[in-house]
Every structure is written in structure tokens, then in C-alpha cells.
Chains A and B, each alone.
Chain A
Amino acid sequence: MDALVNKRIKQVLKGDQNAFSDIVSLYQHKLYQICYRMLGNKQEAEDIAQEAFVRAYINLHTFDQKRKFSTWLFRIATNLCIDRIRKKKPDYYLDAEVPGTDGLDMYSHIPASEQLPEETVEKMELQDRIQYEISRLPDKYRSVIVLKYIEELSLQEISEILDMPLGTVKTRIHRGREALRKQLNNL
């Protein structure tokens, strides 16, 4: 796959914009998933995932083709997600209904770190519950947990994506796991 990706990258660099659509098609689901798990909102996830691809396109000439493209791309996306979380822009789509929650819209998701009443959480479907628990994690633990357990990336790759030492990644995963454990036990 890497050979194909590098071939497409060369074509894009030569000015063939259409070759980029193959790259988008290969990584769109993974990239969207990271953004969705980080942000917990479909519209925002779509916006940030698209933005990540656009930035990748514009800065493609800075990509070192000896390295793994997905690592570079995920790094752009996670940085954008973290920026978005930190800005805490009030551009939530409050009326968007969360599927499978039977009328539970985004009003019930803000602020994400705030705990919902126990009965509400207990009534949640499993998938919504998972996303809710992930969104309650502090963002520095959220990113490592998402990359490790949702994207199933190696610790080494996570350290490259987040540009932090392996030891820091491990510490954050350990603390993230403990934080999640406590969240789940409190119910």
C-alpha cells in the first residue's frame, strides 16, 4: 500500500490533482474516525477531517517519502482536533440528533466533560455510552486512548503522531486507562 501511496504522492506533486482523490479514498474512514472519537460530533469531525486532507495536500511537498504517510496524516488531524478542543469554539450543532438515542440531541452532550445524570447514562445504547465515556476523558488522555484502542496503533507510532517521547505516551495511556476505569466504576 505504501508503494501505491508514494506513487500517488509523486503524481500529485507533479501537478495531477486528481491523483489525490485516491489518497483521500484510502484514508478517509480512519481519519474521520479519529476526528469523530476526539471531537464527539459528526459535523465537526467531518469539517476537521476535510481540513486535515486539504492541509496535507497543500503541504505535501514537505512530506518525507521515506516515512509512513499515515503517521504524517494522522499527526495533522490530531493537531487540528486538539486545537479545536482547546479553542472550545461555541460552534456545536446543538439540534443535531445523536442517532440511536431516541431524541437525545447534542444539548445533552455539552459540556462534554460534565457528568450526565445516572439514569440518562444507563439508558444509553452501548455505542453512545462508549463515545460519552471517551469524551469525558481529558484531551491529553483521549488522544492516546483513541489512537491505541480505536485505531489500534503501536505505541511507537502514537509517539510519532503526537510528537512526544515513548515514555510520555505510556504514562498517558496508563493514566487514561485508570481514568476510564474510575468513570465506569462510578456508575
Chain B
Amino acid sequence: MSTCPQYIVDYMHEYLDGDISREHEQQLKKHLQVCSDCQQHMHELSDTIAFVKSAAHITAPPHFEEMVMKRLPKHKNRVGVQRWFRQHPIIVAAAVFFLFMSATLLSSYPNDEFSFTAKPNLIVDGQTVIVPEGEVVEGDIVVKNGDIVIEGAVNGNVTVINGQYMASTSVVTGQIEEIDQVFEWLWYEIKDMANDFMALFEK
């Protein structure tokens, strides 16, 4: 066998792998007919394969499945949350957006400072804004942390935040609102934004 070329053994393995070319197969067959050593080698290889293939099928022990299920991590919350984030990117994006939005809205929630929309013919007395009798104010008025007394007329909306609206014989062409709560304030801001938004289209 030592005189036989190595490629004959290579061809044997190609043959056993089932990917031998027709050319190689013919060379191998020709050689095996004349060389009993190689024939023996080929037989031994085939027997080896048959030997391994005769191994009985092994099955997993009983309760194997049950044991695996017991070993699974029970509450992988972190993993669960990560997975949820991965699967719902839009909800996550919306939640983040909402978080920033509400932060912005809350930060504009009035602090304790008294302020109001400056108009030429308004009179201020302490923390009270007065629209004098006989005067007509053009446009909206917003008063924060103060009261408003209207004795004249307002050609627009009046909004009072953390304060009181007092009027007797006033004329207000727009809406009058008093806001005292955080949520009302939020609602007011959102409505305001929506109105601004609509105004863009109305132009």
C-alpha cells in the first residue's frame, strides 16, 4: 500500500462523502480492481462507518422537559422590559415625547409672581388690575397671581390665573376664564397651543 499514491485515499474519502467527481470515481474503481491493499482499506472505512451508524438512538431521560422548564429564569424583568422596549419603539418614542412635553408645560406653570398683559389704558392697584370705566381695551388680557376688576370694556378674552375675576357692569366680547389648578392650567396651555396651531391654517 505504501506504493499507492495518496490521492487514492483522498478519493476514497470523497467517495464516502458522496461528492466525488465522475473522473475521480473511475480512477478509484480502476485502482481498487488491481490493488488488494487499497481494496482492504476501502472495506475497513466502510465497516467503520457502518459500525458508528449502528449506534442505537439515545433518548433523553424522562422528565427532561420538566427539568429544563424548572431551570429557566423565572422573572427576568430587566430582560422583559428591554424586550418590550425593542418591540414597541413607537410607544416608547411617544412616552419620551410626552415626558418632555409635560415638563415644558409644567415649567411654564405660573410661579408666585404677579404679572399681566401690558395694555396702555390699564390701571394697577397693588395686585389688582383695573380696566377703568369708559375705557375700551383692545385684545386679550392675562393676569397671573392677581385679580382683575373690569369696569370698562374688553375687546377680547380675559384669563385669570390664581386670582379672581370681578366685574359689575363690564363688557367682555371674548371668553372669561379663571384657572386655579395645575390640570386646568395644563388644559389651558394645550388649548392655547391648539388654537395657535389652528390659527396657522386660518391665515
**Residues of chain A having any CB pair with chain B under 8 Å:** 13-15, 17-18, 20-21, 24-25, 28-29, 31-33, 36-37, 42, 46, 49-51, 53-54, 57-58, 61, 126-127, 130-131, 133-134, 145, 149-150, 155, 170, 173-174, 177-178, 180-181, 184-185
Contacts and interface: CB of A to CB of B under 8 A. Distances in A.
A53 B68 contact: yes
B201 interface: no
Nearest to B73: A58
B55 A25 contact: no
B72 A54 contact: yes
What secondary structure prevails in chain A residues at the interface with B? helix
11 contacts: A15-B80, A24-B69, A29-B60, A53-B71, A54-B73, A150-B53, A173-B17, A174-B10, A177-B13, A177-B49, A184-B51
Interface string B23-60: 00000000000000000010011011101111111111
Given A37-B55, A155-B17, A177-B13, A49 B48 contact: no
Q: Which of A126, A177, A180 has the most CB of B within 10 A?
A: A177
Contacts of B71: 50-51, 53-54
B13 A173 contact: yes
A7 B133 CA distance: 77
Interface band, chain B: 35 or more
B200 interface: no
**A-B residue pairs, 3 tightest by C-beta:** A32-B60, A174-B13, A28-B60
A57 B55 CA distance: 30
Given A37-B58, A57-B72, A184 B65 contact: no
B67 interface: yes
B48 A177 contact: yes
B11 to A, nearest CB: 11
Contacts of A181: 41, 44-45, 48
B65 to A, nearest CB: 5
Contacts of B56: 127
A75 to B, nearest CB: 18
Contacts of A174: 10, 13
